[in-house]
Amino acid sequence: MQRFLFFLGKGGVGKTTLSASLAEYLASEGKRVYISSLDPAHNLYDYFQQPPAEGVTEVRKGLYIEECSVEGHIRRLLEETSRRMKDTYRYLTVLNLEGMFDLLKHTPGMEEYGFISAIDEIYRRRSGLAEHLIVDMPPTGLSLRIFSMPLTTHRWIDSLVSLRRKILSRRREITHIKGRSYFGDAVAVDDEDDPVLRELSVEYRRAVEIEGLLKDRELSARVLVMNYDELSLKEAMLIIKDLKALHISVDYIVCNKAGLGRVDEKNLDELKDLSGDSIWVDIPYYGDVTTPREYALEIGEALCSMMNQ
C-alpha cells in the first residue's frame, strides 16, 4: 500500500466514510494513521464525533485527524511572502504588502496555492506522525485544479526565470557603460548574486517535490470513489481523463454503495477501458444501519486488501 492516499470523487459518494473507515481499520491493526480533510465543508470531526480543534487530534491510540484551514494557509503564505519580499527588495523602502492582503487573498490561483501549501505541510510536518497519511480531497473541480497546480507553477517559474535573466543581462550592459557603482551594492547584476533567482529556484524545487508527491505511484495513490449512478460515473470519467492529461494515474476505483442504483453497462465498460490498470473494488450499501460507521472495520479491511493486492 502506498504511503499517501488521496480520496477523490463526486460530492456525497462516500469519500469521507471510506477514507475514515480505512484509517480506523489501519489503526485497529496497530498502525499509526493520519487522516486529513481538505474539503472546505469539513465533516471529519463529525464522523469521529470529536469537537472541532486546531491542529492534530489523536482520536485514539495511533489515529490522528486534522481538518486543514486553507484560509489559515493563505494568510500564512501571504505573511511569509511579504517577509521574503521585504528581505529580497531591501532597497525598496515603500512596500506595503500588508495593505494589499485583502486584494491578494482573492487573486486567481491563491485558493489552489493555499491547498498546495496545506498538502506541503502534511508532507513535511505530518509524515513523522504516521505510517499512513490519508487525504480526503475537496470537490472535483477544485481537486483537479490542485493536481494541475505544480505543473502550472513549473511553467510560470520557467517564464519568470527567463524574464529575470533578461533583466539581469540588461543591468550588466548598463554597468559596462556606467560602471558597477551605478546600481549600488544592494542591486544584483549577476545571476548567482540575485535573490530573486534564488527565491524562484526555491519555489521551483518545492513545486517539483509536491508534483512528485501528487503523482509518484510508489509514494502515493489516488483513490477514486463513485456510486452506481450516472452522474458520479460521468464525473469519474472526467477525473480520470483530466488526471491522465496531467500524467497522473488513478490507482484504485471504489464503487461505493453497491446494490443501490445501477448504471448503463456500456458506460461502465467505457469507464473500465479508460481506467486502464486501476484496481477496482465494490463496497456494499449498508442500508440497515443509521450510519455506515458501524461497518467501518469491514469497509476498511476491504479497502486495505484491495490496496495490498
Ligand X SMILES: Nc1ncnc2c1ncn2[C@@H]1O[C@H](COP(=O)(O)OP(=O)(O)OP(=O)(O)O)[C@@H](O)[C@H]1O
Binding site for ligand X (CB under 6 A): 9, 11-17, 39, 256-257, 283, 285-286, 291-292
Of ligand X, Mg ion, none, which one sits near residue 52, judging by CB under 5 to 8 A according to partner kind?
Answer: none
The x, y and z cell numbers of residue 158, run together, are 520557467
- The answer to whether 201 touches 105, Cβ cutoff 8 Å, is no
54 HSE (CA, 13 A, CB side): 4
d(CA 133, CA 36): 8
Nearest partner of 89 among 201, 164, 191, 187, judged by Cα: 187
Taking the least distance from each CB to Mg ion, the nearer of 44 and 233 is: 44
Taking the least distance from each CB to Mg ion, the nearer of 2 and 16 is: 16
Binding mask 8-27 for Mg ion (x = CB under 5 A): -------xx-----------
3-state secondary structure of 68: coil
Of Mg ion, ligand X, none, which one sits near residue 12, judging by CB under 5 to 8 A according to partner kind?
Answer: ligand X
Report how many residues bind Mg ion under the rule CB under 5 A.
2
The x, y and z cell numbers of residue 211, run together, are 508534483
Taking the least distance from each CB to ligand X, the nearer of 19 and 275 is: 19
- The answer to whether 249 touches 34, Cβ cutoff 8 Å, is no
Least distance between ligand X and beta carbon 17 (Å): 3
Q: Are strands 57-60 and 63-67 parallel, antiparallel or unpaired?
A: antiparallel
d(CA 29, CA 25): 6
Taking the least distance from each CB to ligand X, the nearer of 143 and 275 is: 143
Taking the least distance from each CB to Mg ion, the nearer of 137 and 306 is: 137
Least distance between ligand X and beta carbon 63 (Å): 17
Least distance between ligand X and beta carbon 36 (Å): 13
First to last CA, the chain: 8
Of ligand X, Mg ion, none, which one sits near residue 291, judging by CB under 5 to 8 A according to partner kind?
Answer: ligand X
The x, y and z cell numbers of residue 5, run together, are 492516499
Of Mg ion, ligand X, none, which one sits near residue 257, judging by CB under 5 to 8 A according to partner kind?
Answer: ligand X
Write out the residues near Mg ion by the rule CB under 5 A: 15-16
